[in-house]
Copies of this chain bind each other. A is one copy, B any other.
Amino acid sequence: MMDHVEVVKGSQGAAEKSKQAPNQQEIVSFLALGGLGEFGMNCLLIQSPIARVLLDCGVMFPSPEHLGVDAITPDFSVLGEQPLDALLLTHGHEDHIGSIQHLLRWSAERGWPTPLRVIGSRFTLALVRRRLEEARLLSSVRLELLQAGEIMELGDLQIEAVRVHHSVPDALAFAIDTPIGKIIHTGDWRIDSRPLLGDSTDLPRFGEIGSEGVRALFSDSTNVDVEGFSVSEAVVAEHLSDVLDLAPARVFVTLFSSNIARMQSLLRAAHATHRKVVLYGMSMKQNFAVARELGYITLPSPDILLDEAQMRQLPQDELVVLCGGSQGEPSSTLARIAFGDHADFRVCASDTLVFSSRSIPGNEKRIARVVDAFHRQGARVVLPTERRVHTTGHACAEEQRLLIGLLRPKLFVPVHGDFRQLTRHAELARSMGVEQTYCFSNGELLSLGEDEVKLARHHEPSHNYTIGKLFRGADDELLRQRRHLAHNGCVCVAIRVNRSGELLAEPRIRDFALVIEPNGLMAGLQRLIRSSVKDYDGPWEEEALSEHLRGEIRRYFSKQIDRRPVVLPLVLLE
């Protein structure tokens, strides 16, 4: 029960140590712009005496409460004025590369030199290239390939790419030699001894690095609550084959469109069960195309893939439809199929739907709605909680222990998770004999000397909310206003009045999303406006009269219907 208290003690102990006046020349500092205490938006600034590198630049997907927000990106202003030397990418998932175009726009505004060096693996760079071509920003970067096993020099940093296994091809950890010792950042990783795509995590190399001595390890905390080892993709492929084999007719499979290994598993399972595969969904098709072009996906038979027209010729029991929408997104292929809104499909009782994906927290209810819609139409739904039709891309507790055991860092910093997960990952590291652990949070500056550790609040952590074309279209206050608007509706009123307080025209009123069946509410409002203007004894200025009207109208609705709609009065004073 005392675990957390120990974390705090550890932190205090370190703070005292830092008073031993570290040598300013031998400090490497870390500033998290995102990814700590939250899901997504992974972004970490690493600053040595000479080099300034950003490690990953991810996006966070908006929740339903982020009303109208298209993407949440780091607040790059905490990077300050000094340009970056490079952006280093662990792998090609959106929560690690999705904010690159925002970073580039932001650095262009500041007049930072271009091109920015963007360093990553082959598959990662292929995704970045596509993204930046679409955003017409490819000329702002120089893409530099760093393959597993290779080392790149960047100022006083030697950056070694170490192969890790994850649910996207070509994922890397970085082992960075710095003036204060070796720093390891795992990126997202797990161990799969029987990967279907690419090789597994390079444990031998991690073993060697551990023997050389590790100053600090930053590691992925996602699955710290899950005991044991993650399940191999090979097992998932077997279970998918079983499901396809037993399904009486058509099978829909939904998965993350970035899960290239799963696409490969499904192609194999379809081939083994004499089915053909059709892909639905833009990003599914795009990711598939990139992976196939680069040779990460191999077709088990040349005719396994069908297009929509070929699909219509095929008997139902020979068909597998891969589609996006595993999170129940309302506009996705899957949701449109579920709710009878898709041109090509009507759910029928012989259908099977397979969720080859997990639920991202916050999406449970809309996923359940899709599941229920299939059930209602008599279809069978296979969930990952019932059969092994999905496996995680992140290390479970036993894998985390194994890596910590291999690397034996002096300092352990859990990353990539909410505070609960970070706290537990720190506890896990201490149980493995690591003496110093830090539950680092967004906006904090962690400064390491060879022995010293210093932790300081640097910035209040913040986000940028993209709305439509506006990179910074909203802030928390605007979202608060939107919530108020959404819960109460709005009323706008225009009056024409002269300085004697005479109304020169009938007040015009429009309400929107207020209530149905207002039953005389608006007639009462007309009377209220007339009497409010008549009784008004403030200054004859438009703004003052507006404020008066706003207050009166709000009180009126509060009394009549116990609601506080947004009131927008427009006064034309003559």
Contact = CB atoms under 8 A, between A and B. Distances in A.
Given A496-B496, A512-B490, A562-B469, A420 B372 contact: yes
Classify the interface of chain A: helix, strand, loop or mixed.
mixed
A487 B4 contact: no
A516 B487 CA distance: 21
Interface stretch (A228-236, A285-293, A430-438, A476-484): A476-484
A441 B373 CA distance: 12
Contact of A4 (B349, B419, B566, B574): B349
A512 B7 CA distance: 45
Q: What is the oligomeric copy number?
A: 2
B515 A375 contact: no
A551 interface: no
A473 interface: yes
Contacts of A563: 68, 467-468
A489 B485 contact: yes
Interface string A440-481: 010000000000000000000000000111101111011001
A423 B372 CA distance: 10
Interface stretch (A43-51, A141-149, A363-371): A363-371
Given A67-B487, A349-B4, A441 B473 contact: no
A243 B4 CA distance: 15
A3 interface: yes
B513 A482 contact: yes
A59 B470 CA distance: 41
A74 to B, nearest CB: 17
Contact of A378 (B7, B352, B512): B7
A240 to B, nearest CB: 13
Interface string A514-534: 011100000000000000000
B2 A248 contact: yes
A570 B2 contact: no
A260 to B, nearest CB: 27
A418 B368 contact: yes
Contacts of A560: 469
A469 B560 CA distance: 8
A5 B350 contact: yes
A214 to B, nearest CB: 26
Which one of A441, A486, A572 has the greatest number of beta carbons of chain B within 10 Å?
Answer: A486
A4 B380 contact: yes
B515 A478 contact: yes
Contacts of A371: 420
A508 interface: yes
A103 interface: no
A344 interface: no
8 contacts: A1-B246, A4-B375, A5-B248, A64-B65, A375-B420, A469-B562, A470-B515, A570-B570
Interface of A: 1-5, 7-8, 37, 63-65, 67-68, 243, 246-248, 349-350, 352, 361-362, 364-365, 368, 371-372, 375-376, 378-381, 418-420, 423, 441, 467-470, 472-475, 477-478, 481-490, 492-494, 496, 505, 508-510, 512-513, 515-517, 542, 560-563, 566, 568, 570-572, 574
